[in-house]
């Protein structure tokens, strides 16, 4: 394993992931964002090459056949894929990368690379569910049980992830992800890699 | 594995470990320090029950025979040991603990508990050794090679440790250890443990 890491960040929709990722990138200027390729049309304000590389279905499928993607997925009729070349270049230069991809994409990165660090962001409901339900007092025991069962299902889905960050407060979530990245830089293997590289150069 | 962690912090002497541990404890009021038992006489300013539990050789050996230590070691003629009861009580209550012990003690904790998180602090020499030696310019290639070989040996000793923190600057080292502890709290298994405990209570 080399010195760079792929921080795979996933979350259920509406969890504030995009905002968190932007804030984290602002804190680590040397870190890069993996801009996915997609066949989905750009939304207002989205720029080609910034949020996504917007390509036609024809181009995407050609890339797919050529093995250009480190992971890819189809969601609501549109394709999404991560450039293999981009990841390999970052690996070669020990550059950290953030990948904003879903759980199926994460699985493929998990299988194909040792450098993945997997972070799942969860909405605050999960963290303080019991407390909120009890405080509210208006729910029947049946409804409370159902909600806890649903939350349990959601939280068990994170099996492939190394870290779970509850987004109870955006600043807190950003701080926790920053801490994860600093801690990962202190992992023994990474410090040793850096040391060996330094004394050899 | 439960919700509490044993943060085992080791370092070559003179690396500023004691200061760093005190600063980290100040940042996490809910964290406890494992006060070791020792047969070494107190140094000026050291208080019984704060830095160490100072006991006679007779008492230490009685405790040792009774299996009272989670780890123990003999250093320069004096015994040092960590209370098993203390650790087990912290585990039962999901309390995080800092253990300031040497590499041999760390090995025993590693073997006996799943909850250990192992942090090795290294002096800055290791991190910027090559740069400093080159900058200085007065060393022969032979001396440079010897120093790098010695540093390499020291850094390879950290095999059992999860993290390596270079103490290039005390504030930076404290921040990195804090980050490690925050990241450990976000580890999937730990969040799941907390979640399961919360919905069951």
With a cut of 70, say whether residue A136 has pLDDT above it. no
Residue A1 falls inside a structural domain: no
| Token pair recorded at residue B117 | 């998180």
**Complex confidence, ipTM:** 0.85
Q: Is residue B71 part of a domain?
A: yes
Residue A39 within any structural domain of the chain: yes
Q: Please answer yes or no on whether A192 and B126 come within 8 Å at the CB atom.
A: no
Minimal Cβ distance to B186: which of A163, A188, A195: A163
For B155, the domain range is 6-200
Q: Phi then psi for A134, rounded to 5 degrees?
A: -70, -45
pLDDT in tens, B99-122: 999 888 999 999 999 999 999 998
A146-171 average pLDDT score: 81
Q: How far is CA A74 from CA A26, A37, B27, in A?
A: 29, 12, 45
Say how far apart CA B128 and CA B142 lie, in whole Å.
18
In a domain, B155, yes or no: yes
- The reply to whether A119 falls in a domain is yes
Mean pLDDT of B59-86: 96
Contacts of B111 (CB under 8 A, 6+ apart): none
> Please, which residues 146-175 of chain B have a Cβ atom closer than 8 Å to chain A?
148, 151-152, 155-156, 158, 161-166, 175
Q: What is the mean pLDDT of chain B?
A: 88
In chain B, residues with a C-beta closer than 8 Å to the C-beta of A185 are: 176
User: Measured between CA atoms, how close is A75 to chain B, in angstroms?
Assistant: 26
Those residues with Cβ within 8 angstroms of residue A6's Cβ, 6 or more apart along the chain or in another chain: A34, A87, A90, A96, A97, A99, A109, A113, A115, A116, A117
A&B contacts, CB < 8 Å = 105
Residue B179 lies in a domain: yes
How many structural domains compose chain A?
A: 1
B143: in domain: yes
Does A101 map to a domain?
Answer: yes
The CATH number linked to B28 is 3.40.50.300
- What was the pLDDT predicted at B122? 87
Residue with tokens 């976000």: B186
């Amino acid at each position: 394993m080399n010195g760079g890491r792929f921080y795979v960040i996933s979350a259920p929709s509406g969890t504030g992931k995009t905002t968190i990722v932007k804030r984290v990138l602002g804190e680590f200027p040397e870190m890069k964002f993996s801009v996915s390729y997609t066949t989905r049309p750009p939304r207002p304000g989205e720029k080609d090459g910034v949020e996504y590389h917007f390509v036609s279905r024809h181009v995407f499928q050609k890339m797919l056949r050529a093995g250009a993607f480190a992971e890819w997925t189809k969601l609501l009729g549109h394709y999404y894929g991560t450039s293999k070349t981009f990841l390999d270049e970052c690996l070669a230069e020990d550059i950290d990368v953030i990948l904003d991809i879903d759980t199926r994409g994460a699985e493929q990165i998990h299988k194909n690379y040792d450098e993945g660090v997997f972070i799942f962001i969860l909405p605050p409901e999960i963290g303080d569910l019991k407390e909120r339900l009890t405080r509210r007092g208006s729910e029947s025991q049946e409804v409370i049980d159902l909600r806890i069962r649903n939350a349990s299902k959601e939280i068990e889905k994170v099996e492939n992830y190394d870290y779970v960050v509850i987004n109870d407060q955006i600043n807190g979530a950003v701080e926790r992800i920053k801490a994860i990245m600093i801690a990962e830089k202190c992992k023994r293997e990474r410090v040793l890699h850096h040391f060996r590289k330094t004394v050899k150069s």
